[in-house]
Amino acid sequence: MPAIYGLVTVLLLVWSMAPVYAETGAVSPPTAVFAALPRIESVQLSPSGRHLAVLRNLDGRTFLETQTVSGQDVHPVVSTDNHESLITWFRWVNDERLLVSTRMTAPEDAGDRIETRLLAVNRDGTEPIANLLKQGALSSVFGPKHVPLFEDRLVGTIPGDPRHVLLALDLEHPDAPDVYKVDVYSGQRQLVQANPSSQPDARAISRWIADRAGTVRAGVGQFQTAVHAIVRPPESSLWRELAEYDLAKETGPVPLAFDGDPAWLYVRDQHRGKAAVFKLNVADRTADRRLVVADPKFDLNGELVYAPGRKKVVGVRYNAADERVLFWDFDAQRLQARIDRALPGSVNVIHSSSDDGRLHVVKSSGAAQAPRWSIFDEHDGRMALLGRSYPDLETAALALPTTVYVTARDGKEISAFLTLPKNRDPRHLPMILFPHGGPAARMPGEFNYWTQWFVSRGWAVLEPRFRGTEGYGDEALRAGFQRRGLEMQDDVTDIVQYAVRAGLADAKRICIVGSGYGGYAALMGAVKTPDLYRCVASLGGVTDLPQVLSDSRGYLTQKPVVESRVASWWNDPERLRDTSPIAHAGEIRTPLLLMHGLMDRSVPVSQGRAMARALNDAKVTTSRYVELPLADEALRREEDRQQVFSELDAFLSSHLD
């Protein structure tokens, strides 16, 4: 049985205090402090506000614990050593019962497959169901026709029903989930919405949306690059087409959620070149859709935010990873202003609220402030600290980034975050060029443990926002389509050259480091502009673009999307080869640290292994390949973070210090 299902010794919620560092002349915190998983990862209030569930990491293990808001009645609920499984999210169903999503680590021969399971357990650790789907097996002697890889796709809860939730499960047809009402105590389920894919000439729905009353009333599907959305108006049993468009050529409305009034559906669509939030009346097809909120600089690509009790939509996050929220509701704006006055100088986000709206769990952070967790009482205005995600960084001298703007060689304006070590002469510093992965980008003001670790070693950090970066509008995104290794790489080069001209970096001590797409950009830097970099480090970077296209051919939906963004398999073979690091392995002479996780499901480990073989065959003696046997693309295990940072510390220090 996976370790996640075992109970653990009670751990009291004692919030560690950080060691004190002198403000001047102090030794920076050790690398292990930055590489540690956050001591507190998430905190959620139960519906009544009487209990807290806390997801904690300690010594490489992850624990879900519950307690009363006052800190009493502590219960260990679930734990994992992060070897066989990882906790990905958790949620209160009622004041006594929680759902916990787990991601199972799969063997190497699983390719890019990811499997998830759903655990149900009481807040005191009793009545656990280790696999909710397996517990409620179908009554048929033959069982389900298909075993879902994803068993945690929560469509929603059902107001007034503390026993059931709505889950999307593809039990009948792969990648075409139906919606079931599932009992969180027994695992028994009942079909409430069949996927239209079973009907002649109908297309499959991959994501379902329920209204605030728990009725499934919208869905989105995609076949190749064709997107279609359907909706069912209130008091109707008939589905109708909401939108249809080709992702490769255009954008279109994406259903997000229903408001308290089930006639109104929120959608995301383009407004003046940026993704914005609209609402439309699905009961009245003649009514014009309304613009709810937009930002002139950034896409609003994140989740919607609800008022306590989740009946009313009040705001939207900027993107899935960002902490900032844009509110359009006056009461929500007023509450946010009260919280910001109580916690000045940080980005403060409500992560959980009691249903009555009195208590709120608040996460506070900033580019130079590691996250802290507090609880705010709206009635009396009191703010109480619950704990810190990185207590050992509390007194460290973290650095604030600034944004610099550079004109690329073709006249496009591109930007970058520049973070400089404190108390250091900013001229001619050793520098880490740190292109982001994705190629989605984080927003300004977000805490980044990578950046802060680099700066703690005395290195400047430059994070370019090259064309193709997500979050800056459709034009900026599409400017990077099929330009990997070309103009996207030129943007990176132009930003480095700017830093040298501006005296921000020592031209002889610049290393390029990246993960995911950033790892690919680092490798292409070694290929295209080797004289710019003293060393190169790539974690999980793509090395062989033709192989990426070849792998995608087995997925009807993935292949055309990959081709639209990377290149055409048939039309661009020479360009694919020319922009693949593996084709230039014999030319690389810059010292190179190549790392790849065996459990990377974004870029398979075969890409790293092939590059390592090519370097070895070309007798390149300046490279080193490190394979991490349990690491995934996000380094969700502490041991993997520690090993990666340890390798980087030794490698970068030898070239920059």
DSSP 631-647: --TT--SHHHHHHHHHH
Instruction: Flag whether pLDDT at 421 surpasses 50.
Output: yes
* Structural domains of the chain sorted by starting position, each given as residue range(s) with its CATH number in brackets: 132-204 (no CATH), 403-544+593-656 (3.40.50.1820)
User: Residue 148's closest CA among 180, 126, 100?
Assistant: 180
- What's residue 137's pLDDT? 53
Say if CB 164 and CB 181 are below 8 A apart. yes
- What's residue 457's pLDDT? 95
Instruction: Flag whether pLDDT at 225 surpasses 90.
Output: no
- What's residue 4's pLDDT? 34
Residue 465's identity, in one-letter code, is R
Residue 298's identity, in one-letter code, is F
Structure tokens at 383: 């703010």
Across the range 621-644, mean pLDDT stands at 96
Across the range 618-625, mean pLDDT stands at 97
pLDDT tens track for 422-449: 888 888 899 999 999 987 766 667 899 9
Instruction: Flag whether pLDDT at 547 surpasses 80.
Output: yes
pLDDT tens track for 387-400: 999 999 998 989 99
Instruction: Flag whether pLDDT at 503 surpasses 90.
Output: yes
In which region does residue 379 sit, left (phi positive, over 0), alpha (psi from -120 to 50) or beta (all else)? alpha
Maximum CA pair distance of the chain?
Answer: 74
Which pLDDT band holds residue 63 (cuts at 50, 70, 90)? Answer: very high
Which pLDDT band holds residue 99 (cuts at 50, 70, 90)? Answer: very high
As beta bridge partners, residue 56 has 40, 63
Share of the chain above pLDDT 90, in %: 77
Torsion from C-alpha of 401, 406, 412, 417, nearest 10 degrees: -10
Which pLDDT band holds residue 582 (cuts at 50, 70, 90)? Answer: very high
Mean pLDDT computed over every residue of the chain:
89
Instruction: Compute the distance between CA of residue 527 and CA of residue 346 in angstroms, rounded to an integer.
Output: 41
Residues 6+ apart with CB under 8 A from 408: 414, 467, 487, 490, 491, 494
- What's residue 144's pLDDT? 64
- What's residue 112's pLDDT? 53
DSSP readout, 157-179? EETTEEEEEEEEE-SSSTT--EE
Helix (H) or strand (E) holding 335: helix 330-342
Across the range 198-220, mean pLDDT stands at 89
> Rg of the chain's alpha carbons, rounded to an integer?
25
The more confidently predicted of residues 148 and 35 is: 35
Which pLDDT band holds residue 92 (cuts at 50, 70, 90)? Answer: very high
Across the range 377-405, mean pLDDT stands at 94
- What's residue 558's pLDDT? 61
Instruction: Flag whether pLDDT at 324 surpasses 50.
Output: yes
pLDDT tens track for 152-196: 999 999 999 999 999 999 999 998 999 999 999 999 999 999 999
- What's residue 320's pLDDT? 66
Say if CB 180 and CB 209 are below 8 A apart. no
Rounded to 10 deg, the angle between the 545-552 and 558-565 helix axes is 150
Instruction: Flag whether pLDDT at 554 surpasses 60.
Output: no
Instruction: Flag whether pLDDT at 569 surpasses 60.
Output: yes
- What's residue 134's pLDDT? 80
Instruction: Compute the distance between CA of residue 571 and CA of residue 565 in angstroms, rounded to an integer.
Output: 14
Structure tokens at 602: 């974004």
Which pLDDT band holds residue 285 (cuts at 50, 70, 90)? Answer: confident
Three-state secondary structure call for residue 340 = helix
User: Residue 634's closest CA among 59, 131, 82, 31?
Assistant: 82
Say if CB 309 and CB 291 are below 8 A apart. no
- What's residue 651's pLDDT? 98
DSSP readout, 53-117? EEEEEETTEEEEEEEETTS-S-EEEEEE-SSSEEEEEEEESSSSEEEEEEEEP--GGGTT--EEE
Instruction: Compute the distance between CA of residue 448 and CA of residue 442 in angstroms, rounded to an integer.
Output: 9
- What's residue 54's pLDDT? 98
User: Residue 444's closest CA among 426, 419, 422?
Assistant: 419
- What's residue 557's pLDDT? 54
Which pLDDT band holds residue 273 (cuts at 50, 70, 90)? Answer: very high
Which pLDDT band holds residue 311 (cuts at 50, 70, 90)? Answer: confident
Pairing mode, strands 535-539 and 592-597: parallel
Across the range 482-500, mean pLDDT stands at 95
Instruction: Flag whether pLDDT at 509 surpasses 90.
Output: yes
Global confidence as pTM: 0.91
Residue 3's identity, in one-letter code, is A
Across the range 547-552, mean pLDDT stands at 83
Say if CB 275 and CB 293 are below 8 A apart. no
Instruction: Compute the distance between CA of residue 633 and CA of residue 544 in angstroms, rounded to an integer.
Output: 17
Which pLDDT band holds residue 140 (cuts at 50, 70, 90)? Answer: very low
Instruction: Flag whether pLDDT at 66 surpasses 80.
Output: yes
Instruction: Flag whether pLDDT at 10 surpasses 60.
Output: no
DSSP readout, 488-514? HHHHHHHHHHHHHHTTSEEEEEEEEEE
Q: Could you write out the three-class secondary structure of 593-617?
A: EEEEECCCCCCCHHHHHHHHHHHHH
